[in-house]
Amino acid sequence: MDESRLGPSSRDPVERERPEDPGRFLTPREVARLVGVSPTTVTRWAREGKLRCKTTLGGHRRFEQGVVHELRKRLDLAASVLHT
């Protein structure tokens, strides 16, 4: 496939992020990139119930963008408290 037709934003989940669309679903890889952890950590958080997700018919986890933004806010707040 000719990736030049896709444009730069289609390859980077951070760039194609739309804050006004909290119902959009993200893959574990996209969540990991946004939060700064590995996809394995995201999957573990979901399995442990720490991060709410939906499961596709194929068994893949998907995360609501709004939930991920709330997680980012909590992690940013925790990091700022630790560094003060």
Structural domains for the chain: 31-84 (1.10.1660)
Low-confidence ranges of the chain (pLDDT < 70): 1-22, 84
Distant-in-sequence, close-in-space partners of 80: CB < 8 Å, separation ≥ 6: none
pTM, two decimals, is 0.69
Tokens 């997680």 — which residue?
71
Q: What pLDDT score was predicted for residue 57?
A: 96
Q: What pLDDT score was predicted for residue 21?
A: 66
